């Protein structure tokens, strides 16, 4: 899938060059206006990176005087950068933890809004095997704990009648960097296995007992593609864009479901009741619903509630305008890239949070 239109590509590349040329991301944000241009810098989650790059490209077609750079360095890196105020906004698949919020001045100091939702899918390399493999959460946990080690194990065969599974060793593949994708995957597996919870645990980085690691979706994919028998986990849009094989996962209602914008949206449908205030975090993995995909999550954009970390009010207003556009008109690009757009009730919660943004105490215009 072509992620960025031909016309938009040149604009996106121009923005990306700020980083490629060696200019630190924070410097890009701190440079403020150059001539009539405003430059904004963000970094973080790789999970929504194709969506954010498309948003940036499309927004810059509408506003060529505003240059936006988003560096997909992982959720952990994004949270570190916003805490250090070296970027203007951060992307994270995992909501900020209590410790991370405190490091950034406390929950009252920040706005955290969902930008879209997506699924994490089990991708594999099984040469000669036709059709999609079916998994349960318990089975995925046992594979990553090293308790199911071969593809023709009875636990896999019983879910995949009619599929000729090879007598090939399974190589679990995982992220080596601080990753929101790992956060989602491990938190889901923890709902499926108490032993997984007590031995491996949940987080953006965990200690896996076996397998091979790769940095980012790209690194995991590279290991899976070169290793027959490998099983990894990546964001669904990334898998689709790179023609990766991935399977069904049994949901809480007992149905085998493949990730799609529709099945991920169903997982997030009941989350709005859990969201309030400026930190709009809600877990949507392992949700009930006959067609809900079980390894699903919102991904978040994070900014300071008072944008005094930006150089001037014009930059702050430009960032607010972009955030509003991204969570409203920009949502139409989410489904094109196999993400789930924000449901209307969630969008209303986002609007309330954005209306809290100020610059040096002065309220900024929202929804123009």
Q: Is the pLDDT of residue 154 over 90?
A: yes
CB 232 within 8 A of CB 252: no
Query: Is the predicted pLDDT of residue 260 greater than 60, yes or no?
Result: yes
d(CA 291, CA 235): 19
Above pLDDT 90, what percent of the chain? 71
User: Percent helix, strand and coil across the chain, each rounded to 5?
Assistant: 40, 20, 40
pLDDT of residue 3: 30
Confidence class for position 294, pLDDT limits 50, 70, 90: very high
Confidence (pTM) = 0.74
Q: What is the pLDDT of residue 287?
A: 87
The pLDDT value recorded for residue 153 is 98
Q: How confident is the model at residue 270 (pLDDT cuts 50, 70, 90)?
A: low
Q: Give the residue with greater pLDDT, 131 vs 191.
A: 191
Q: Which long-range contacts (CB under 8 A, 24 or more apart) does 329-332 make?
A: 330/55, 330/58, 330/59, 331/116
Distance CA 242, CA 234 (A): 11
Interacting residues of 187 by C-beta distance below 8 A, sequence separation 6+: 202, 283, 285
162 burial via Cβ count (<10 Å: 0-12, 13-18, 19+) = exposed
Q: How high is the pLDDT of residue 267?
A: 85
Model pLDDT, residue 106:
96
Rounded-to-integer distance, Cα 336 and Cα 341, Å? 10
Length of the chain: 368
CA distance 333 to 293: 21
**Locate tokens 């679990």: which residue?**
172
**CA gyration radius for the chain?**
21
The pLDDT score that the predictor gives to residue 35 is 52
DSSP code, position 172: E
Which residue has tokens 């919660």? 349
Q: What is the mean pLDDT of residues 28-33?
A: 41
Q: What is the pLDDT of residues 212-233, one digit of tens each?
A: 999 988 999 999 999 999 999 9
Residues near 192 by beta carbon (within 8 Å), at least 6 away in sequence = 136, 137, 138, 140, 141, 286
Distance CA 102, CA 122 (A): 34
The average confidence (pLDDT) of the chain is 88
Q: How far is CA 293 from CA 120, 224, 274, 319, 338, in A?
A: 9, 23, 19, 33, 13
Q: What is the DSSP letter of 85?
A: T
Predicted local distance difference test score (pLDDT) of residue 9: 34
pLDDT the model gives residue 368: 59
Binning pLDDT at 50, 70 and 90, where does residue 130 land? confident
Averaged pLDDT, 3-22: 34
Using the predicted structure, report yes or no on whether residue 80 has a pLDDT greater than 70: yes
pLDDT at 361: 97
Residue 125 has pLDDT above 80, yes or no: yes
């Amino acid at each position: 899938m072509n992620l960025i239109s031909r016309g938009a590509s040149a604009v996106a590349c121009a923005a990306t060059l700020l980083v490629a040329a060696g200019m630190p991301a924070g410097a890009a944000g701190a440079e403020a206006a150059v001539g009539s241009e405003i430059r904004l810098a963000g970094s973080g989650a790789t999970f929504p990176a194709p969506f954010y790059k498309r948003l940036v490209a499309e927004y810059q077609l509408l506003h060529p005087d505003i240059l936006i750079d988003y560096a997909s360095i992982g959720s952990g890196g994004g949270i570190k950068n916003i805490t250090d105020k070296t970027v203007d906004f951060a992307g994270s698949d995992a909501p900020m933890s209590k410790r991370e919020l405190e490091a950034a001045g406390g929950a009252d100091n920040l706005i955290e809004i969902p930008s879209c939702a997506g699924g994490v899918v089990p991708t594999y390399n099984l040469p000669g095997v036709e059709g999609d493999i079916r998994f349960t959460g318990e089975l995925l946990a046992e594979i990553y704990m090293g308790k199911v080690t071969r593809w023709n194990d009875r636990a896999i065969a019983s879910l995949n009648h009619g599929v000729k599974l090879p007598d090939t060793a399974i190589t679990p593949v995982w992220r080596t960097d601080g990753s929101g994708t790992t956060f989602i995957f491990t938190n889901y597996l923890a709902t499926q296995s108490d032993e997984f919870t007590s031995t491996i645990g949940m987080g953006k980085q965990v200690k896996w007992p076996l397998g091979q690691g790769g940095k980012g979706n790209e690194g995991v994919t590279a290991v899976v593609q070169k290793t027959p028998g490998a099983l990894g986990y990546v964001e669904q849009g990334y898998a689709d864009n790179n023609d990766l094989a991935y399977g069904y996962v049994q949901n809480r209602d007992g149905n085998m479901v493949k990730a799609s914008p529709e099945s991920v949206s169903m997982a997030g449908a009941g989350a709005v009741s859990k969201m309030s205030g400026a930190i709009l975090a809600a877990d949507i993995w392992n949700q009930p619903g006959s067609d809900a995909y079980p390894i699903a999550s919102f991904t978040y954009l994070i900014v300071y509630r008072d944008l005094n970390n930006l150089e001037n009010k014009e930059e702050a207003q430009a960032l607010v305008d972009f955030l509003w556009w991204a969570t409203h008109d920009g949502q139409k690009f989410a489904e094109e890239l196999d993400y789930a757009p924000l449901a209307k009730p969630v969008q209303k919660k986002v609007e309330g949070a954005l209306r809290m943004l100020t610059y040096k105490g002065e309220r900024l215009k929202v929804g123009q």
